Amino acid sequence: MPDLIQLYQTVCQYARRTAVLASIQELLGWDERTQMPAAGAEHRAEQSTLLAGLIHQRWVDPKFGDQLEELSQGLQNESDRFSDAAVILRRLKRQREKRLKLPQFLVEELARTAVLAQQAWQAARQNDDYPSFQPLLERTIELKRQQAEALGYPRCPYDALLDEFEPEEITDNIQPVLAQLREELLPLVAQIQDSRRRPNTALLRRRFPVAEQERFARAAATAIGFDFNRGRLDVTAHPFCCSLGPHDCRITTRYNENHFSAAFFGVLHEAGHGIYEQNLPTEHYGTPLGEAISLGIHESQSRLWENLVGRSRAFWMHFFPLAQQHFPEALSDVALDDFHFAVNDVRPSLIRVEADEVTYNLHILVRFELERALLEDQLGAGDLPAVWNEKYRHYLGIVPSNDREGVLQDVHWSAGLFGYFPTYSLGNLYAAQFFAQAEAELGNLAEHFAAGEFRPLLDWLKEKIHRHGQRFTAAELVRQVTGRPLSARPLVDHLRAKMGSLYEL
């Protein structure tokens, strides 16, 4: 037994050191997207390539494989598959098996291309110049196809890439849920568009000084539970959250002096991610028990705080007087109900990150369908802008006037994140199901929010979700927390009840 304990500790320490290397790579990515001068891209690509190679070597090291196998033999009589040791062993073995399938040159080339492609995307987006980005996108797609083939897949190449973000999930499982969501949302959007009630969104486009936006957003993020002693907020072209360790979580946003919602709800969203990261078990850092279950579950935390909490009337019963203090010129003559209606405006729009709760998932469906077509060679990168525009016309009834607000709006494909987009819709579904369960167990959460009390919900999330790390798969966690499998019904019910009241449907 002492030898087995020592072996377990050795495996965990090895995983932690690998995680430290990965955190350095994450730090380089944060710097690249917030601070790095454009001319530094080539050298950053070399740095990222070297680190990606070193991390890959650690995963495929035969000695590490032997240790995992020896530990597996020692734990073969372990009856509890959810014990710490069983979970860590199972997850590490699964990750190593995937790594063994990937040639090192492919890992390094993916890392190098991601840096160059993201820099090319940023310039192309700024200049509305898709052709300048297209060659690197084509290279990225080819590399992702190679990755999918190397990893293997149950039914289609997309499964291999989806598994990177939503482990043990496949396309055939999520497609019916997304299809059900689409069938429910399209008529709801049409009903809202036909409503005679419309919010005055012009009040959100008054002048909101950036410095005050930052102060107000930081105050709200702190109130819901983001710890700025262990985190920071910066500016970037495309908002994101990254964790560099158990006490260093960084969130970003972008400000527009004449658009209140973009930065504020962006901060709430990224703070939701950060709260999850900050409440993973620090004692398990670097092992699967100290890491998020999946990006869908991660996204559930950000969307829950952004939408189910942050766009609720109860939230603004507490925060609107504070908003009026921060922005007296813009909001002194605005009533709470008018402001609440404005931040819940539902209308087809072009920019995903600024989309409302109802239409947001239609943006995801566009990307889900397009990246599958790109990966499976049913669509060429040269035709992508035109097909993107046609998808927007079909799903949202609007067409981008340029590629900056069309196919160039997201960073994901330049970073090689194919298979990522469905996790946003999964996150919305998980969030609604979790929130409904929290309310069933905690009582009327609106009363807490109106009083500025967010701790009861936060503590519930920490107990039910955050503390488990990767102990369960996403599907197992949802069933454990809510008593039923993932369903589109809680989200649809939430949207119909909320929008039915606002729009008098």
Identify which of 417, 423, 369, 376 has the alpha carbon closest to the alpha carbon of residue 394.
Answer: 369
Grouping H, G, I as helix, E, B as strand and the rest as coil, residue 377 is coil
Grouping H, G, I as helix, E, B as strand and the rest as coil, residue 42 is helix
CA–CA gap between residue 171 and residue 158 (Å, rounded): 7
Exposed, middle or buried, 468 (CB in 10 Å: 0-12/13-18/19+)?
buried
At 244, list the tokens.
Answer: 């560099």
CA–CA gap between residue 389 and residue 350 (Å, rounded): 10
At 212, list the tokens.
Answer: 């005050």
The one-character DSSP state at 206 is S
Identify which of 375, 366, 391, 357 has the alpha carbon closest to the alpha carbon of residue 491.
Answer: 357
Identify which of 314, 357, 392 has the alpha carbon closest to the alpha carbon of residue 192.
Answer: 357
Whether 64 and 18 have beta carbons less than 8 Å apart is answered as no
270 is catalytic: yes
The CA angle 30-36-37, to the nearest 5 degrees, is 160
CA–CA gap between residue 329 and residue 316 (Å, rounded): 18
CA–CA gap between residue 494 and residue 501 (Å, rounded): 11
CA–CA gap between residue 203 and residue 209 (Å, rounded): 14
- 390 Cβ partners below 8 Å, 6+ apart? none
- Residue tagged active-site, from 270, 277, 291, 306: 270
Cβ atoms within 10 A of the Cβ of 206, count?
A: 15
CA–CA gap between residue 408 and residue 416 (Å, rounded): 14
Catalytic residue positions, numbered: 270
